[in-house]
Amino acid sequence: MLAHSYSALAQHADIHAVFVAVGEGQESLATEALDGMQVPILVKGGATRRESVHKGLEAIARQGGADFVLIHDAARPFLPESVIDSLIDALSGSPGAVPALPVVDSLSRGRYILTETVDRSHLWRVQTPQAFHFDTIWDVHRSWSGEEPTDDARMLMAKGGDVRIVTGSERLTKFTFSDDFSGNDMAPSIRSGTGFDVHRLVEGEELWLCGIRIAHDKGLAGHSDADVAMHALTDAILGALALGDIGDHFPPSDPQWKGASSDRFLVHALTLAAQAGYSLANADVTIICEAPKIGPHRKSMRARLSEIMNAELSRISVKATTTELLGFTGRGEGIAAQAIVTFEKTN
C-alpha cells in the first residue's frame, strides 16, 4: 500500500518531494517497500496521526517549507491523478481542500431498533489526501491544544479556516479491517499480457495449431506437440499474472512433457488465473506463416480454443498474416505466433 500511495504522489508533476512518516523501527520496512523508487524522505512518526503529521510538517519546514502540502493516508493506496489535480486547483481560492463523496445510503440512529432518520443531503465521506497552504496548516499544528482530531481538515476548521470539497473517488477506499484484504483486493482489476513463440517446420512431424491438427507436408518440432499458437497464449496468460513463462512451469528438460498436448499448458495457466480471482475478458492470437493457409481453419481454431479455455466464442480471436516471403517464416523454415490476453477481476 505504501508503494502504491508513494508512487501516485511522487510521479505527479506538481509534487516536488514526498515525506513518509513511519513508526519507530519501521524504517527498513519502508525502504524495502519503496525499493527502486525515487529516494524517499523518511520521518519518524508519533503515537497518533496528528503527531505523525506534525513531525512530517516539521521536517518540511526545516527544508525551507512549501507553498502547498498534501497529507495522505497510505491506507488509501489507489490515488487517482485527477484527485490530486482537483485539490491543487482548489487551493487557489481556499486555505484547505479535501476529496469527498456524498453519502448515498440511508442513515438512521438507534441501538437495536431504528429510532431516527438522519438527513443525508449534506453529508460527505471525507477522504485523503487533504490539501492545504503549507504555512496555514503548519501554524494550526504548532498552536493546537484541543482534543485529538480525526484529521487535519477538522483542525483547520476549528481555527476558523475554510475547507473546500472536491470530488473524491471510490478508488480511494481506506483499508481498515481484515476483511478489506480478503480476496487479494489490492490486485489490479484489469491485467493484460503478451506472448510470442516460434517453432521450426520439419518433415515427419504433425502440425498442430490452436489445438487443431492440420494436414501439411511438414510439422512443428518441439519438446511437446509444438503448438506455437497455444504456447504464445499460455505465455500471455502467465505474463498477465506475472508468473514467469511456459518454460518455468513446464521445463523442456523434463521428459514428462515430451510430446504433451499443449492444451495442458493452456489449461494450467487459466487455472492459475482463476485461482487468483480473474476471468478471461478476451484473447487474440496471430499466426505468422506462409503456409499452410490459416483462413480455412480459423473457425475450427476459434471453436477449439473456446472449448479449451471455457470461454465464449466472442472472446476468442484468431488471425493470420505473412511476412511477404521475408525472414525464416517467409522461407517456410518455421511458424511464429503472438498473443495478447486481458483478464478482469472477479472477486
User: Where in the chain are all domains bearing CATH 3.30.1330.50?
Assistant: 190-345
Could you write out the DSSP letters of every residue in 266-328? HHHHHHHHHHTTEEEEEEEEEEE-SSS-SGGGHHHHHHHHHHHHT--GGGEEEEEE--TT-HH
pLDDT digits (tens, 9 = 90+) for 273-304: 988 888 999 999 999 999 999 999 999 999 99
Query: pTM for the whole thing?
Result: 0.57
Coil/strand/helix, residue 264: helix
Q: Report the top-level CATH class of 190-345.
A: alpha beta
Handedness of CA 179, 183, 187, 188 (dihedral sign): negative
How far apart CA 274 and CA 261 sit, in angstroms, is 21
Q: Which of 269, 192, 285, 277 is nearest to 234 (CA)?
A: 269
199 phi and psi, to 5 degrees?
A: -140, 150
The whole-number pLDDT of residue 184 equals 45
The whole-number pLDDT of residue 315 equals 95
pLDDT over 80 at 45, yes or no: yes
User: Where in the chain are all domains bearing CATH 3.90.550.10?
Assistant: 2-183
Neighbours of 312 (CB within 10 A): 10
Mean pLDDT, to the nearest integer, of 228-256? 91
Q: How confident is the model at residue 187 (pLDDT cuts 50, 70, 90)?
A: low
Q: What is the CATH architecture of 2-183?
A: Alpha-Beta Complex (3.90)
